[in-house]
Amino acid sequence: MNQIDLKNRRILVTGGAGYIGSHVVKALGEAGAEILVYDNLSTGNASAVLSGRLVVGDLADTVLMKKTVESFRPEAVIHFAASIEVGESVSRPLKYYRNNTVNALNLLEVLRACRVDQMIFSSTAAVYGEPELIPVAEQTPLDPINPYGASKMMTERLLADLSAADPDFRYVALRYFNVAGADPQSRIGQDYKNPTHLITRALKTALGVFPQLGIFGRDYPTPDGTCIRDYIHVDDLATAHLVALKHLMDGGDSDIFNCGYGHGASVAEVVEVARTVTGVDFKIVDEPRRDGDPPELVARCQRLRTELGWQPEHDDLAYIVKTAWDWELELQKRQESAG
Ligand code: UFG
């Protein structure tokens, strides 16, 4: 168990009404933290904030942000608020550099002005691009292949430069691999307007929202020809944030950690698990490769366990898919009752 006591510790969470942010807010609440969520609700939902207080605000609004930070006086900030669609980042790069890089700079300026000196940053495996060596380790040179990954890499660089110049400021960047699953009680989960992720698309196909699931390429150099990814349950990812926070609060140095389980599943394997969990033999069709998909992306992730004491509890693809499926059923119920 990752038992972490954050009783009365004041934590500001940007993007805490979103998918991953809301699971971290839930975990922070269970650990006793005092939480303030700052979110513009562009993709998040107020109802997903299970603990603490919500201020509806944008990171571009530095006046409101400063006022919020000054009155809440957080000890640390967990920064999620960002745009996250790889495909959209290619067609709208400026949106990504503004939301992910410029807004992070805004936030850092406010934090430094208010003397807040600890930050956990949501980064991504997309900073690696198409790494040659799998599993990919944190020291692998960064070479993102899309503006999404580049915008996150630039923010990592901002953090590194700031902490070098100002030793009082310390941060942990967490590079997420493929995050999936939902709260086992189905209170919160992924709720994107245009879901593109494999597990969500598969489950929505099982529900009949989509007529079929496309398999993007069967000619990759992997055992079954489909791409391999390291799927991590969102609650285990949430715990990674808590151990990272504890590290900083205990005076630990700035650092960067991969977040995954260290082994992968292929697209074809995920489809089989989704068919078993849902009991629906939904239709699949072979489609061409999607641009920018590396054949295999699996984390080298021992450091998170050995150095921060992270203990994942849901390293089980069937559990990940089952919690995501229960959430999809709950979402459908909510939509039906909303008319
Ligand atoms: N896939 C399909 N059909 C679909 C959707 C996806 O075959 O309908 C395939 C993709 O081609 C890929 C795999 O399933 O091979 C996983 O795709 P996802 O879209 O679920 O996830 P990605 O690996 O592309 O990207 C995710 C996040 C990124 C993050 C990356 C890091 O969306 O933000 O993981 O691993 F950077």
**271 touches ligand 1 (CB under 6 Å):** no
How confident is the model at residue 173, as a pLDDT?
98
For the cut 60, the answer to whether the pLDDT of residue 1 exceeds it is: no
**Average model confidence (pLDDT) across the chain:** 96
Tell me, yes or no, if the pTM score tops 0.75: yes
When pLDDT is averaged across residues 196-200 and rounded to a whole number, the result is 96
Structure tokens at 132: 């040659």
Say if residue 165 is exposed, middle or buried (CB neighbours under 10 Å; 0-12, 13-18, 19+).
exposed
CA 61 – CA 289 distance, rounded (Å): 40
Categorize the per-residue pLDDT at 192 as very low, low, confident or very high, splitting at 50, 70 and 90. Answer: confident
Q: Answer whether 196 contacts ligand 1 (Cβ < 6 A).
A: yes
Catalytic hit among 19, 38, 96, 148: 148
pLDDT at 3 over 90: no
Per DSSP (E only), the strands in 92-177 are 118-124, 170-176
Residue 283 CA to ligand 1 centre (angstroms): 19
Q: Please give the distance of CA 35 from its chain centroid, rounded to a whole number.
A: 19
Q: How confident is the model at residue 193 (pLDDT cuts 50, 70, 90)?
A: confident
Look at residue 240 and tell me whether its pLDDT is greater than 60: yes
Alpha carbon 181 to its chain's center:
11
Phi, psi of 328 (to 5 degrees): -60, -40
Residue 245 half-sphere exposure toward CB, CA atoms < 13 A: 30
Task: Kindly give the distance from the C-alpha atom of residue 177 to the centroid of ligand 1, in angstroms, as a whole number.
Answer: 10
Q: What is the structure's pLDDT at 145?
A: 92
CA of 132 to the centre of ligand 1 (A): 18
Question: Ligand 1 pocket check: which of 229, 261, 285 to mutate, most ligand atoms within 8 Å of Cβ?
Answer: 229
Rounded distance between C-alpha atoms, residue 329 and residue 203, angstroms: 9
pLDDT tens, position by position, 79-118: 999 999 888 999 999 999 999 999 999 999 999 999 999 9
Query: What sign results for the dihedral spanned by CA atoms 78, 102, 73, 173?
Result: positive
303 has pLDDT over 90: yes
- What pLDDT was estimated at residue 87? 86
**34 beta partners:** 10
- Which parts of the chain are beta strand (E)? 10-14, 34-39, 53-56, 76-79, 118-124, 170-176, 178-180, 213-216, 228-229, 231-233, 255-259, 265-266, 284-287, 296-297
Q: Say yes or no to pLDDT of 292 above 90.
A: no
Q: Could you tell me if the CB of 269 is within 6 A of ligand 1?
A: no
* pLDDT-based confidence at residue 258 (cuts at 50, 70, 90): very high
Q: How far is the CA of 307 from the centre of ligand 1 (A)?
A: 29
Q: Which of 23-27, 37-41, 264-268, 293-297 comes out lowest in average pLDDT?
A: 293-297
Q: What is the pLDDT of residue 273?
A: 98
Question: What are the DSSP calls for 18-76, one per residue?
Answer: SHHHHHHHHHHHHTT-EEEEEE--SS--GGG--SSEEEE--TT-HHHHHHHHHHH--SE
62 CB-contact burial (10 Å; exposed 0-12 / middle 13-18 / buried 19+): middle
148 noted as active-site residue: yes
Q: Indicate the pLDDT class of residue 194, thresholds 50, 70 and 90.
A: confident
Q: Is 316 in the pocket of ligand 1 (CB under 6 A)?
A: no
pLDDT tens digits for range 140-162: 999 999 999 999 999 999 999 99
pLDDT value, residue 201: 97
User: What local confidence, expressed as pLDDT, does residue 104 receive?
Assistant: 98
Q: Give the residue-averaged pLDDT of 251-270.
A: 98
Please provide the distance, in angstroms rounded to a whole number, between the alpha carbons at the two ends of the chain: 41
Q: What is the mean pLDDT of residues 319-333?
A: 97
Q: Is 178 in the pocket of ligand 1 (CB under 6 A)?
A: yes
Q: For residue 180, what are its two tokens?
A: 């999936």
80: its two tokens: 């999620």
Stretch 281-296: mean pLDDT: 93
Domains and CATH numbers, the chain: 10-180+232-259 (3.40.50.720), 198-228+263-332 (3.90.25.10)
